[in-house]
């Protein structure tokens, strides 16, 4: 009798262990549109419309993901990412937080257009509070093109999400077999499949044969260490970007001031320098309570604090390693918490 008891217990334990082992990681795909869901007139045409194919079609195009994960999907929006906006960002951040922290998913894959992928990735890296991985994927060729790159990016993204080594790497993008941390991600080519680079930080890793290999972890604060929370934020502060050039008109800067914007980012020349007429408007704006952040139109290299411009004197903030579009994101989030220029500079130092 005793022998039978041990045997049945053992069988039960074995069955339980087998069930546990057979459970695949639960991955949720949140689709937002972009070229990965784009359709062209023919397989050889370069003209196409972004954001036309639904999430189920995208998943069915890559059935291999079902071998490695329990994959399900939802369609948040279906847009070209040139139409990405604050409302979608707030909705997306809340949804990803819920999926990871309330609904028990092991990772979230976001399909997204490539035009503003870097902005969405950075926004989520500051507003999603989890150690679990979040991966953005897109495509440079529409889903109907010869050699569409979307399916491989999607597969590599899921491979990254299910691998235990991805934990703690925050929000990343997986494009063209490479992995980029959100802060570093930058689109550097309008049409090339190798459009994304990691700027000063380089790529964070790569995917080979269905496995991610990480070269470093993100250095800046994000995810669990981020102080920004948009759970109760209904609208983001208004922040615009002004582009710098020789003989620059001060009109765009003045227009943002007149429209009551809360902050303005300068995509300045060189190390974040102003044209003299623009400087005059910027100084008045800063003195009037509109925070000015200096960034640069130069693709690589930091915009340094107190270099050619005396930030300490004028109370401007230097964007350091953030390009103008990411400096805009951090300034919007910073302005949800404070209007103090020194605290805002501290955020730029840390994030």
Q: Which sequence positions are flagged as catalytic? A: 35
Shortest distance, position 85 Cβ to ligand GLU, whole Å = 13
DSSP 3-state helix, strand, coil percentages of the chain (rounded to 5)? 40, 20, 40
User: In terms of CB distance, is 50 or 159 closer to ligand GLU?
Assistant: 50
Task: Kindly give, in sequence order, each residue whose CB lies less than 8 Å from that of residue 92, ignoring residues fewer than 6 positions away.
Answer: 30, 32, 76, 110, 120, 124
User: In terms of CB distance, is 80 or 218 closer to ligand GLU?
Assistant: 80
Which residue of the chain is nearest ligand GLU when measured via CB? 113
Looking at the DSSP bridge assignments, the partners of residue 187 are 196
Picking from 203, 104, 111, the residue whose alpha carbon sits closest to that of residue 158 is 111
Shortest distance, position 96 Cβ to ligand GLU, whole Å = 19
Shortest distance, position 203 Cβ to ligand GLU, whole Å = 19
Rounded to 5 degrees, what angle do the CA atoms 302, 303, 308 make?
Answer: 130
User: In terms of CB distance, is 153 or 226 closer to ligand GLU?
Assistant: 153
Shortest distance, position 76 Cβ to ligand GLU, whole Å = 14
Q: What is d(CA 318, CA 328) in angstroms, rounded to the nearest whole number? A: 12
User: In terms of CB distance, is 121 or 281 closer to ligand GLU?
Assistant: 121
Give me the residues that bind ligand GLU (CB under 6 A), please: 33-35, 50, 80-82, 113-115, 138, 140
φ/ψ region of 147 (left if φ > 0, alpha if ψ in -120 to 50, else beta) reads left
Q: Do 113 and 51 meet the contact criterion of CB atoms below 8 Å apart?
A: yes
């Amino acid at each position: 009798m005793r022998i039978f008891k041990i045997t049945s217990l053992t069988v039960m334990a074995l069955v339980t262990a087998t069930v546990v082992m057979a459970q695949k990681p639960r991955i949720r795909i949140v689709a937002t549109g972009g070229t990965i869901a784009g359709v062209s007139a023919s397989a050889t045409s370069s003209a196409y419309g972004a954001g036309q194919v639904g999430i189920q079609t995208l998943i069915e195009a890559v059935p291999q993901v079902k071998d490695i994960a329990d994959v399900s999907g939802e369609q948040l929006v279906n847009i070209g990412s040139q139409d990405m906006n604050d409302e979608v960002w707030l909705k997306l951040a809340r949804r990803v937080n819920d999926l990871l922290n309330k609904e028990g998913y092991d990772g979230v894959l976001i399909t997204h257009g490539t035009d503003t992928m870097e902005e969405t990735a950075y926004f989520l890296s500051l507003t999603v509070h989890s150690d679990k991985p979040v991966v953005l994927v897109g495509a440079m060729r529409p889903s109907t093109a010869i050699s569409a790159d979307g399916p491989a990016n999607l597969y590599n993204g899921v491979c990254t999400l299910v691998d235990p080594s991805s934990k703690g790497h925050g929000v990343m993008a997986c494009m063209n077999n490479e992995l980029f941390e959100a802060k570093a991600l930058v689109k550097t080519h309008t049409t090339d499949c190798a459009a994304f680079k990691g700027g000063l930080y380089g790529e964070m890793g790569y995917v080979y044969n269905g496995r991610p290999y990480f070269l470093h972890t993100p250095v800046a604060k994000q995810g669990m260490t981020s102080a920004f929370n948009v759970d109760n934020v209904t609208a983001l502060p208004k922040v615009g970007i002004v582009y710098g050039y020789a003989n620059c008109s001060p009109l765009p800067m003045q227009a943002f001031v007149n429209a009551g914007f809360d902050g303005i980012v300068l995509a300045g020349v060189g190390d974040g320098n102003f044209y003299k007429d623009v400087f005059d408007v910027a100084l008045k704006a800063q003195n009037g309570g509109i925070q000015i952040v200096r960034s640069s139109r130069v693709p690589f290299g930091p915009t340094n604090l107190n270099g050619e411009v005396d930030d300490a004197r004028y109370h401007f903030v230097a964007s350091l390693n953030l390009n103008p579009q990411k400096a805009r994101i951090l300034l919007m989030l910073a302005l949800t918490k404070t209007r103090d220029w020194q605290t805002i500079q501290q955020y730029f130092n840390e994030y």
